[in-house]
Amino acid sequence: MMLTIDWVIAQNQSSKIKRNGNALFLFQQVRMIIIIT
């Protein structure tokens, strides 16, 4: 769970850097994380 949170934070930072159409990809990743948890 800690690892997942760290990963989400990293994804959030990278999405801030390049905020170009990563919204859908990020949404899919978050969905996968929710399913895994």
Where does the pLDDT of residue 16 fall: very low under 50, low under 70, confident under 90, or very high at 90 and above?
low
Do the Cβ atoms of 4 and 32 come closer than 8 Å? no
- Mean pLDDT value of segment 16-33: 68
| SS3 assignment, position 13 | helix
In this structure, what token pair is assigned to residue 24?
């859908």
| SS3 assignment, position 37 | coil
Phi, psi of 28 (to 5 degrees): -65, -40
Where does the pLDDT of residue 15 fall: very low under 50, low under 70, confident under 90, or very high at 90 and above?
low
Give pTM, 2 decimals. Answer: 0.32
What does the domain layout of the chain look like in residue ranges?
A: 2-36
Tokens 């800690």 -> residue:
2
Q: Supply the pLDDT for residue 26.
A: 72
